[in-house]
Structure 1
Amino acid sequence: MPENAGPMTPLQIKNAAADLMPALRSELIELVRIPSIATDGYPAAPLFEAHDFIVSLLEKSGVTQIDRLEIPGKTAPVIIATIPGPVGAPTVLMYSHYDVVPAEDLELWDTPPFEPTERDGALYGRGTADSKANVIGMIGALRVFDGKPPVTVKLVIEGQEEFGSPFDNYPPEAPELFQSDAMVIADVGSVRPGSPTLTVALRGSAQVIVELTTLGADKHNGLYGGAAPDARLALIRALASLHNDNGDVAVDGLLREEWTGSSYTDEEFRTLAEVRDGLPLLGTGGIGERIWSGPAITVTGIDAPPVDGAVNAVASTARAVINLRVHPRQPASEAQAALVRHLQALRPFGLELDVKAGETGDGFAAEQGGPAFDAAMFALSESWDGEAGQMAGGGSIPIVMALDTAVPTAEKLLFGATDGYANIHGPNERVLLDEFEKAVVAKALFFQEYARTFEGKK
């Protein structure tokens, strides 16, 4: 877009994005080829390679203010770039990440995970959807405006998101780096292909460990079974109390509300979760209520001997770890305390449980109705030529809460190029190229619409 030119029409933005797609597609393929895995046991060199490649794309796009943030003791640099907008324009921070999870179970992949392959309108490969398409999409949105966006843009692109990033705790330590009027966290996507969706909430999370010891040592069940208190049986009885016969969580004090936004149908959810034919789903109410606006309790670990080689013995000790997913607006510590109270009050077979509270992470509920929120809903609807919906996320994105703590006044918006069928973290991860293009358009439209509406709100 020439300097000092007036606003572009939605059609002009769509046409500009379409013209950019061949180059963006090639750059995405090149980025996906880099196995940028940021966890123990994998080389650090690909992380630096991915970082340098993204920096080169930014420079190619006319970005000159690019900083490199390195947190001591860690290997993956954070890219922080600033693209100035017109005087008086709002500032939009855009976040994503260039690291990926390992590509395990290679026999389940139809094509090699780091040799991106296009078929049937989709690009397959590890990291295509989570979240390299979003990284390239942000760069594409800048190019729509020839590097001169109608808002000031701050890009924050990290390389260690997937495995407990130290960056998760950094923004509150240096809030000045992240000052902005609105933030777009591009690490999500739409509920399904063709259905533009803004993520407006994320559930929180809490851990609880429960254990008990009943005997000095395991005892032969032929000699002692039937009277000796079996720790494993008592633990199983306690864990069974966490749900009612329908599969709904049966712990008092946990917030649950009806979900009124976009959601999966029961059949979509069955397909995505790969539920075996003929089996019921857990719980009652809508899918959104069960996975987004209500609690979920999962026993994520239990100490028990394997079936193969099991010994005929009464268990002297037993231990389990419980993960609690929490309504986006309920403090995770409050929900955790409710679960701890429930377990402490139990006396399975008259035995007292030892209950310990573990880590917690609060959820997130976006403020709605502000100029950035309205601009995002407009941009998504216009990009997909259909009314945008709202969804939530059942998993946590810690950086969202960190950014919210650092800059509480900024509107937080979550949208991106992926969709509910992208199979992120699994075999045959893919991004639909049409959805990728629409996400580029949505970001560019958001810049322009937010600049207009922000001006009107000042």
Structure 2
Amino acid sequence: MDLRARITDLMRPAREELAEFVAIRSVADARQFPPEECARAAQWVLDKFAGLGFSDAHLARTPDGSDAVVGSRPGPNPDAPTVLLYAHYDVQPPLDDSAWRTPPFELTEVDGRWYGRGAADCKGNILAHLLALRALGNDVPVNLKLVVEGSEEQGTGGLEAFVASHHDLLRADTILVCDTGNAAVGHPAATVTLRGMVNVVVTVETMASELHSGMFGGAAPDALAGLIAMLASLRDQHGNTTVTGLDNTQTWTGAPYPPEQFRADAGVLEGVSLLGDGSVSDMLWARPAITVLGIDCPPVTGSTASIVPRASARLNLRVPPGMAADDAHSALVNHLKAAAPWGVHVTVDLEAIGSPFQAAVGGAAFEAMSAAMSEAYGKPMATLGQGGSIPLCNVFSDTYPDAEIILLGVEEPLALIHAPNESVDPGEIKALAESLALFLQRYAALRG
């Protein structure tokens, strides 16, 4: 029986296995969910991989207090290449339960897709790992290492710190980061760039206290109006990000993202324009992008006829490869202060910063993955960028500079990861599993 037929047979019980996994509410935030749920998920992962030859699989406590599942499986000989499999078992909180069409922690099939928190991000990717290894059976031609972390969604850096202090434990020739996906269902892709990010809180202060707008309005400086003017300076009339000192003309050279597909994927309302004067791919993956995440000011309900003396906004700046995150942070701070009107007092506090990432392409692993995905999906493998940040990729790159790092997964746009109604197309799990199995065979042959 060939790999495709084996994986087809394995898909029959796969739904129940994923349902069992999704039912574990492994949100890595003890304020919202009991930590025992993450412990259950970690043990679930450990047991599954221990049953597939990772006899030394164990839980490793990381510096942020989360547990990573770590293990190895020797190949046919020590000289065979080593491949590290990465994923994470923690999930985002479900957010508003009422916004879900199905119970968030109960895998439910609707119109051929499987709905549930973590079904795609990232438990569906873990299932694909398991299916690939089961399909290969005893014929895995490489040395394997495994790390499945438990705090990726919290961004607390537990595994990043663990890698830095356990160099040899996870050292590999190729690292498969299964936490991204394709541009569309059935269209294989490897992610080759990740945008970095800068999160800041900007605060404007103008007066000692609120003042009655009838008595003082017109001359008294309004902090909220000052903040709005500063925020308005961050984009031009076309929606381009215009932070002084940052290049907003870079272009994307990989696969395009058709505007009509993006409009559908993003749910853009009729008549509303897409932002920027570049292509969708340029705006998503090659250029800086500023987002106002939140504003602290009086809410409409309960507001009074008062001039606001203090207002704040939380901003997120996505930083494409080719720009240094530290330089982007400095540019944003300088821009905000220069744009501040009327001499208002401005403070800009840094919350978080992460560097962009660019993967090397053209090596033996990349060539093997391209061939494997093309065979599994029946279409050529494209290269994509991702707007999100995965700081671990930079840690892997710095720690193992000779390793090839390939990002892939089941998390295409319809998956709605991090949002209500997350789902996975089971065909993506099947095709990814076949791709992974074929990759291990082809990579061993190329490196043999």
TM-score normalised by the chain length of structure 1: 0.92
> Match for residue 430 of structure 1?
423
> Match for residue 119 of structure 2?
128
The residue type equivalent to 1:12 in the other structure is D
1:80 aligned counterpart, secondary structure: strand
Q: What is the rounded CA distance, in whole Å, between the counterparts of 1:93 and 1:72 in structure 2? A: 21
Which of the residues 323, 338, 343 maps onto 1:330? Answer: 323
Which of the residues 226, 243, 247 maps onto 2:235? Answer: 243
CA-atom RMSD, angstroms?
Answer: 1.8
> Match for residue 227 of structure 1?
219
How far off its partner does 1:352 sit?
5.4
2:122 aligned counterpart, secondary structure: helix
The structure-2 alpha-carbon separation of the partners of 1:242 and 1:46, relative to structure 1 and needing over 3 Å to count, comes to same
Q: Does the alignment pair 1:390 with 2:383?
A: yes
Counterpart contact for 1:77–1:158, Cα < 8 Å: yes
Q: Does the alignment pair 1:159 with 2:136?
A: no
Q: What is the rounded CA distance, in whole Å, between the counterparts of 1:24 and 1:85 in structure 2? A: 26
Counterpart contact for 2:82–2:144, Cα < 8 Å: yes
Q: Does the alignment pair 1:277 with 2:270?
A: yes
> Match for residue 370 of structure 1?
363
Q: What is the rounded CA distance, in whole Å, between the counterparts of 2:37 and 2:443 in structure 1? A: 36
Counterpart contact for 2:18–2:107, Cα < 8 Å: no
How far off its partner does 1:269 sit?
1.8
Counterpart contact for 1:191–1:263, Cα < 8 Å: no
> Match for residue 23 of structure 2?
33
The residue type equivalent to 1:221 in the other structure is S
> Match for residue 191 of structure 1?
183
Counterpart contact for 2:26–2:91, Cα < 8 Å: yes
> Match for residue 59 of structure 1?
50
Q: Does the alignment pair 1:69 with 2:60?
A: yes
1:177 aligned counterpart, secondary structure: coil
The residue type equivalent to 1:105 in the other structure is D
Q: What is the rounded CA distance, in whole Å, between the counterparts of 2:246 and 2:350 in structure 1? A: 16
Which of the residues 132, 135, 144 maps onto 2:135? Answer: 144
- The percent of aligned pairs where both chains have the same amino acid is 39
1:154 aligned counterpart, secondary structure: strand
Q: What is the rounded CA distance, in whole Å, between the counterparts of 2:237 and 2:64 in structure 1? A: 49
> Match for residue 80 of structure 1?
70
Q: What is the rounded CA distance, in whole Å, between the counterparts of 1:85 and 1:104 in structure 2? A: 43
Which range moves more in the overlay, 384-393 or 226-235? 226-235
The structure-2 alpha-carbon separation of the partners of 1:33 and 1:243, relative to structure 1 and needing over 3 Å to count, comes to same
Question: Deviation per CA, 1:369-398, whole angstroms, max 9, x where unpaired?
Answer: 111111111111111011111111101112
Structure 2 stretches lacking a partner, 5+ long = none
2:137 aligned counterpart, secondary structure: coil
Question: Deviation per CA, 1:335-387, whole angstroms, max 9, x where unpaired?
Answer: 11111222232341344533344421001110111111111111111110111
Q: What is the rounded CA distance, in whole Å, between the counterparts of 2:378 and 2:275 in structure 1? A: 35
Counterpart contact for 1:92–1:153, Cα < 8 Å: yes
Q: What is the rounded CA distance, in whole Å, between the counterparts of 1:89 and 1:284 in structure 2? A: 49
> Match for residue 199 of structure 2?
207
> Match for residue 3 of structure 1?
none
Q: What is the rounded CA distance, in whole Å, between the counterparts of 2:204 and 2:113 in structure 1? A: 51
How far off its partner does 1:72 sit?
5.5
Following TM superposition, the consecutive aligned residue runs of length 4 or more in structure 1 with deviations greater than 6 angstroms are: none
The structure-2 alpha-carbon separation of the partners of 1:111 and 1:359, relative to structure 1 and needing over 3 Å to count, comes to closer
1:129 aligned counterpart, secondary structure: coil
TM-score normalised by the chain length of structure 2: 0.94
Q: What is the rounded CA distance, in whole Å, between the counterparts of 2:329 and 2:41 in structure 1? A: 39
Counterpart contact for 1:97–1:132, Cα < 8 Å: yes
Structure 1 stretches lacking a partner, 5+ long = 1-10
> Match for residue 210 of structure 2?
218
Q: Does the alignment pair 1:181 with 2:170?
A: no
Counterpart contact for 1:346–1:352, Cα < 8 Å: no
The residue type equivalent to 2:442 in the other structure is E
Which of the residues 3, 7, 12 maps onto 1:17? Answer: 7
Q: What is the rounded CA distance, in whole Å, between the counterparts of 1:355 and 1:157 in structure 2? A: 36
Q: What is the rounded CA distance, in whole Å, between the counterparts of 2:358 and 2:63 in structure 1? A: 32
1:205 aligned counterpart, secondary structure: strand
The structure-2 alpha-carbon separation of the partners of 1:225 and 1:95, relative to structure 1 and needing over 3 Å to count, comes to same
